[in-house]
A = this chain, B = another copy of it.
Amino acid sequence: MNYCSQCAAPVALRIPEGDDRPRHQCQTCGQVHYQNPRIITGALLTTGDQVLLCRRAIAPRQGYWTLPAGFMENGEGADAGALRESWEEARAQGTLDGLYTAFSLPHINQLYLFFRGTLDPVAYAAGPESEAVALYAADALPWDALAFRAVEKTLRYWLEDRRAGAFPTRHETLEADPRFR
């Protein structure tokens, strides 16, 4: 950020009065331009013992498998965003059971949310951001070709929780993991 989006004057990185950390602040009009974490919302859609995955057609992590997910938009709920992304990336529809996993990723200023649900109808196709979309059986997941750590974690919990027969909602803060670069 170089310039004020309100008045076009240069911004400086400084600690505003009453604040405790540096912010981009306009040197002319005084406007503070806060930068905050962004939310990625997605869905774990299953049918029987199979889960819907997308192979990414775009950076980052092109060619790797992910649960359908993307940036939550203004004006939508996280649940609606998860279904929107499922449609955009996998041409999939589903019924959500609720929030399943939440992961804070402070090193990249993101919060991931995954909702658990049922693929309904059992139909899917690659959207423009996917090279392929497929149903993977729980015992044959592509562990060595997953796109993101939050996806890997969510799938591991899903396997554990299926065995236990209960799907509690979890939040975890994750550190950077060199396997996903």
Residue positions of A touching B, CB distance < 8 A: 1-8, 11, 18, 21, 24, 33-39, 71-80, 98-99, 102, 104, 106-107, 109, 111, 113, 115, 128, 168-171, 173
Contact = CB atoms under 8 A, between A and B. Distances in A.
Nearest to A24: B5
A14 B78 CA distance: 24
Contacts of A104: 76-80
A150 to B, nearest CB: 13
A115 B170 CA distance: 11
Copies in the complex: 2
Chain A interface SS verdict (over half): loop
Given A3-B6, A98-B170, 18 more contacts: A2-B6, A2-B7, A3-B7, A5-B33, A8-B8, A21-B73, A35-B74, A36-B72, A37-B72, A39-B111, A72-B111, A75-B106, A77-B104, A78-B104, A99-B102, A168-B168, A168-B169, A169-B171
30 contacts: A2-B7, A3-B3, A3-B6, A3-B7, A3-B8, A4-B5, A5-B24, A5-B33, A8-B8, A18-B128, A21-B73, A35-B74, A36-B38, A36-B71, A36-B74, A37-B39, A37-B74, A74-B106, A74-B109, A75-B109, A76-B104, A76-B106, A78-B104, A78-B171, A80-B104, A99-B102, A99-B169, A99-B171, A102-B113, A115-B171
